[in-house]
Structure 1
């Protein structure tokens, strides 16, 4: 009994110290069921030969614990950091490991680590209703405005300055190997009330290294070769091979620019429009063009109910002439109170190519249903 009392007293004392130092602990959990083409598995027959792709329903569980630390210097400079428990073990000096740090004074702020570049920070993502496995943002045609973020190690430094309703952003992401030039970004955003409507406008630009963009095609080809090489023996349709290649590969853009518009009303409606263009390095033997992306989202909230619908389209994706992806997503939340929310989502994409000597297509869908818990 004395040991229990002592331990409890020590825990309370420690919690008081943590609170005084500006340390907060928060958490979230998700549980449910997911399925669709996103979770498809390769089937084989009795002798191990290919027997088709099959969508698999799976149980979903996820838990995250986040530590948020903040403080203030004598001169009014505020500072802080945050890290998720499951990512902290991966952190080192040149890899943020999912952690972020900030310094702020007045309208000026510096963020470093696992944070958005200037392009993403200025744009508004068309995803206001959540799902347990990000169904509404992980479908193949969706563009989350990440721009060139993560083309290197994902550790980003971003400076921002806010004045009234306007905010400006500058960012840089560096290649730890020293082989490629840094990725620089700039962005501007406005958020204010105009005529009783909540208006948001964002514009962003990022520029990377042309050599990295060119080399990314070779890396993508190697990824395709590995993915196809890992397939079991058997007979595959051209569509199945195209889907395997598409899911395994990608390319890094040399530069990207975009604009974002959002409009909200006091009765729960919000509309978002994103448009961006990306340029890729020229590669001999490929028919290439400017990649364009359009995303439209409509969202409605009334009391405990939230609904979202988005439509997305890529033209000449990865700079490849004729590669297109379009799709839509539906999401629903019902807030039960106390941090418990019912979440459901469905998304569908169509991917096709008619260029570079290929004419194929495939479709993909995924769904999720479950509970989200925040603590």
Structure 2
């Protein structure tokens, strides 16, 4: 009955072992996803999806998403990717658990909280603040004849002090816990084109922290330009990604002995029921990641998966993580 009314259920699960660099432990989970769909009298499609474990956040727009689509394209809101990420993407993941998402590139939405909130490595005038979720984000996309265009904007959020002592020490301003410092808004554009197995993509994203309501604080702009090239043929895919930090983000990274350029290369090959994936990347902090994984399709939605990731940080000792087990889709 639920399916007939535009609500369907699906799920995923896993069971296995994970090595976190120190200990071997079990990893297990089961999740249910609700997928909603409908159509207006004029032919517009609409719907959404969210996981059962994220139901409360989906109700506020910080998890899951809803959309409407037609000849004009597709507009989605909620926990959706920014335009640069939607166009350029990440490298191929490895392992049963994706091993800390080591295949993911640095995008502003992922960097923003770490860049500003870290009192040692972040922006001095913004250290000791709290940044709420940028969701719900809005993402518009349009595709025609192999060409896709993306545009996104985040929910404008208020930056508030959450550590008055740290903030006052670094700025000399008389602020209190909970004081508003202004707003942050993130926006982006991206495009991709696919032809004969080749896909090229370009994305630009920017976030502006505007503390205009507080005397003595300057606005800060985080810019990021990313590009990718991917080629697939006979079950083998190769993808390269490069990103360049811009504006104040570049200066922050270079001040911390980082690099204004990040890059990565990934390879994936499928041979009968076996898929092998590998990647290598270096992020803005000059941390290096190498990953290798494989999966074997057992049929019926079950597969055997395993992977190894080696992390070599610019500062500190390197570590190796690994996992192995069974993955299920329902």
Q: TM-score, normalised by structure 2?
A: 0.78
Residue correspondence of structure 1 range 102-117 to structure 2 within 5 A: 102-106=67-71, 108-117=73-82
CA shift, 1:130, in A, is 4.8
User: Pick from 85, 93, 96: which aligns with 1:132?
Assistant: 96
Answer whether contact 2:50 2:58 (CA < 8 A) is retained.
no
Matched position secondary structure for 1:74: coil
Name the residue aligned to 2:262: 293
Question: Residues 366 and 167 of structure 1: is their aligned pair in 2 closer, same or farther, counting only changes over 3 Å?
Answer: same
Name the residue aligned to 1:24: 8
Name the residue aligned to 1:254: 222
CA shift, 1:143, in A, is 3.5
CA distance in 1, matches of 2:258, 2:210: 18
User: Pick from 273, 290, 304: which aligns with 2:240?
Assistant: 273
Name the residue aligned to 1:369: 324
User: Pick from 31, 45, 48: which aligns with 1:81?
Assistant: 48
CA shift, 1:138, in A, is 2.4
Unaligned runs of 5+ in 1: 1-14, 38-54, 213-251, 318-323, 354-360
1:199 to 2:198 alignment: yes
RMSD: 2.3
Residue correspondence of structure 1 range 92-241 to structure 2 within 5 A: 92=59, 95-106=60-71, 108-127=73-92, 130-135=94-99, 138-139=101-102, 142-144=103-105, 146-148=107-109, 151=112, 152-155=132-135, 156-177=137-158, 179-193=182-196, 198-210=197-209
Question: Residues 186 and 84 of structure 1: is their aligned pair in 2 closer, same or farther, counting only changes over 3 Å?
Answer: same
CA distance in 2, matches of 1:299, 1:144: 17
Name the residue aligned to 1:3: none
Question: Residues 208 and 288 of structure 1: is their aligned pair in 2 closer, same or farther, counting only changes over 3 Å?
Answer: farther
CA distance in 2, matches of 1:101, 1:276: 29
Aligned residues: 277
Q: TM-score, normalised by structure 1?
A: 0.69
